[in-house]
Amino acid sequence: DAGITQSPRHKVTETGTPVTLRCHQTENHRYMYWYRQDPGHGLRLIHYSYGVKDTDKGEVSDGYSVSRSKTEDFLLTLESATSSQTSVYFCAISGHGTEAFFGQGTRLTVV
């Protein structure tokens, strides 16, 4: 398995609170991605990074921000969580933008 760890694995939070999800990799891969997965929508890209401090928006970036200060860590922040952000979040890594390897996911519930 690719060395990729997401934390926390489960989280319940209240509407309006900030939440940060962490993705940590040990593969030294250049590309890192955050996706959300919801029934009926499949995987949707939130943000991605192509290097330290280099990030860009995906198709569903509103309400989310990211940071990558080190190669191995990619943080996803929900500035003010809403119930529509209840989802399963996946981090993925890729060395050259072709094969992507996924973490185990974080189940986030916003109540």
Partner 1 sequence: QKEVEQDPGPLSVPEGAIVSLNCTYSNSAFQYFMWYRQYSRKGPELLMYTYSSGNKEDGRFTAQVDKSSKYISLFIRDSQPSDSATYLCAPRDSNYQLIWGAGTKLIIKP
Give contact residues for partner 1 (rule: CB under 8 A). 31, 40-45, 48, 58, 90, 92, 94, 97-105
CB of 53 to partner 1, least distance (A): 18
Q: Distance between alpha carbon 25 and the CA centroid of its chain, in Å?
A: 12
Q: How far apart are CA 38 and CA 88, in angstroms?
A: 7
Nearer to partner 1, 80 or 109 (CB): 109
Whose Cβ is closer to partner 1: residue 38's or residue 79's? 38
User: CB of residue 56 vs partner 1: minimum separation in angstroms?
Assistant: 9
Beta carbon nearer to partner 1, 79 or 99: 99
Cα 16 to Cα 22: distance, rounded to the nearest angstrom: 19
In 3D, which of 92, 65, 29 has the Cα closest to residue 57? 65
